[in-house]
Every structure is written in C-alpha cells, then in structure tokens.
Amino acid sequence: MTPKEFAELIGIIPAALERLEEGSLGPSVDRLRILLGKNLVPENDLQSAYHHFFDDPARYPNGLPPLTPLINNPVVGNWLAEVRGLHAMTQQEFAGTLGIQWKTLRYWESGEEKPSREQLGYLLDRNVAPKNTMEAAFQKFYKNPHNFPGGLPPLVPEVHNPIAYPSFGTWLTDIREQHNMARKEFAELIGSDEKSVRSWEMNTRNPTVQILPAVRHAAGISVDMFRTALEHFSRARAARSVARN
C-alpha cells in the first residue's frame, strides 16, 4: 500500500501517518485496535508491540489498558457496546458495518434481544473482534442449559471435527442445521422419527446402534473419525455423570 492508502484504511490523514512512521507521534491505543480489528497484524505480534512500546508507568500508572475488549460485563449487550466503542463508531455506523438494522443493534445493546450463535458468527466474519475474544464472549454469555442442554458447541460449526463438541446432541444439531432441515425432515433422512431426534439433541437419550451409520453418512466423516467421535462423547457423558453425582 501507499502511505495514502494505508492512512485511509486505518482512518487517519496521510500527514499523521507520516508522523507516526518517523516517530514524532505515537499511535493511540484506539489506532492499534483498528489494526487488530482489520487483521492487519496478527494479534500476538500486536500485543507484543503494544507491551513493548506503550509500557509507560508515567502514562499508565495502573498498568496498560487492555488492547482487546474485556469480557467483564454482566450481559452480552454491554460487552457489544464496549466492542463498538473500541471501533469509535456510533450505533448507526456500527450497524451499517455489520450489515444489520440499527434497530437490531439497539435491541442487542439494550438487552431486549440477544444475538444468536449464528449472528455472533457473522460478527466474527466481519472482524468485529479477534476470534479468541468472540469465543470467550460466547463461552461467558451463552452457557445456558436451556439453550444448549448438552453443553456449548463451538462458536463456528465444525461438523467435520466432532471432538470440538461437548456432546453427541450438540454435534447432531449442527449436522441437521448444516443440511438446513427441520427435525422431521432430518429424521426422515436418517430413518428415524422426530421425537427421537429431539431427545438425542436434548441429550435425554442416546441413539440406537442401528441409526449410527446414517448419522455418520449425514456428517460426511470417515469411519475412523466417527469411532473417535463416539469414544469422545462417551468419555464426556461419563464425566458429566460423575460431576452430577
């Protein structure tokens, strides 16, 4: 990039970039966050640079402020507002960047509504925050047994990596949703019934051995991977049983 192009990308004028590069002006923490948000520098490299160049007790007597959003708010809406603040955007600007309605963002931040797992994944696609930050937010704000009775699935579906899932039911749900099917349709696909699929997804029952080959075929994974997955889910189920007792 030319200096002008890079300056436009990070939201400053070329003269300011020139002063930054020659060392007569130091970048603000917000500018570093923009570099991170736009994936211009790997997070580990930027964190190292941040601690190396900004560690100034006179300027930060209580230590450096976090470079990435803290997951320290009681509700997801407050955290999302904090993320938006790090991008120095109004609600309307942030909503436009995400490609959602301003009303939707307002409902999220106020706590009237909560973004779904799929919508959080969309925020990740738009580089709203680093992946590890989004994963941490998902772990903190969405660990609700009512929504995920078998434990939290990964933020981004990984159907071909079943050991990323805490239970057979959460994995089966993602397999079904990958096929974009309702439970009744999916039950027909694997030769079962809607009630059984629901009980498997809710982790109240385990599927029969006869149905497993059809599940493996729907997931599109190898026999060896499927065997590994079943062993993984068996261990996880045993661990949950021990924890309950």
What is the structure's pLDDT at 55?
A: 79
Q: What is the dihedral of CA 39, 45, 48, 54, to 10 degrees?
A: -40
- Measuring CA to CA, which residue among 212, 224, 134, 133 is closest to residue 171? 212
H helices present in the chain, as ranges: 3-10, 14-22, 29-37, 43-54, 76-86, 91-98, 102-110, 117-125, 131-141, 168-178, 183-190, 194-201, 212-219, 223-244
Within-domain flag for 151: no
Q: Which pLDDT band holds residue 201 (cuts at 50, 70, 90)?
A: very high
3-class SS at 193? Answer: coil
User: What is the domain extent for residue 186?
Assistant: 162-244
The number of domains in the chain is 3
**Contacting residues for 143 by C-beta, under 8 A, at least 6 apart:** 152
CA separation for the pair 137, 162 (Å, rounded): 22
Within-domain flag for 113: yes
In this prediction the pTM is 0.67
219, 162 Cβ separation under 8 angstroms? yes
Within-domain flag for 23: yes
Within-domain flag for 150: no
Q: Do 169 and 240 sit in the same domain of this protein?
A: yes
> Does residue 226 or residue 14 have the better pLDDT?
226
What is the structure's pLDDT at 191?
A: 95
CA separation for the pair 107, 77 (Å, rounded): 8
* Domain CATH code at residue 177: 1.10.260.40
Q: Do 42 and 113 sit in the same domain of this protein?
A: no
Q: Do 171 and 237 sit in the same domain of this protein?
A: yes
Share of the chain above pLDDT 90, in %: 36
Least confident of 106-110, 129-133, 136-140: 129-133
200, 169 Cβ separation under 8 angstroms? yes
What is the structure's pLDDT at 245?
A: 64
Within-domain flag for 61: no
pLDDT tens figures, 146-174: 778 888 999 999 999 999 999 999 999 99
pLDDT greater than 80 at residue 206: yes
Within-domain flag for 100: yes
Count of beta carbons in the 10 Å neighbourhood of residue 228: 14
Q: What is the mean pLDDT of residues 193-203?
A: 95
Q: Do 212 and 169 sit in the same domain of this protein?
A: yes
Within-domain flag for 70: no
Within-domain flag for 17: yes
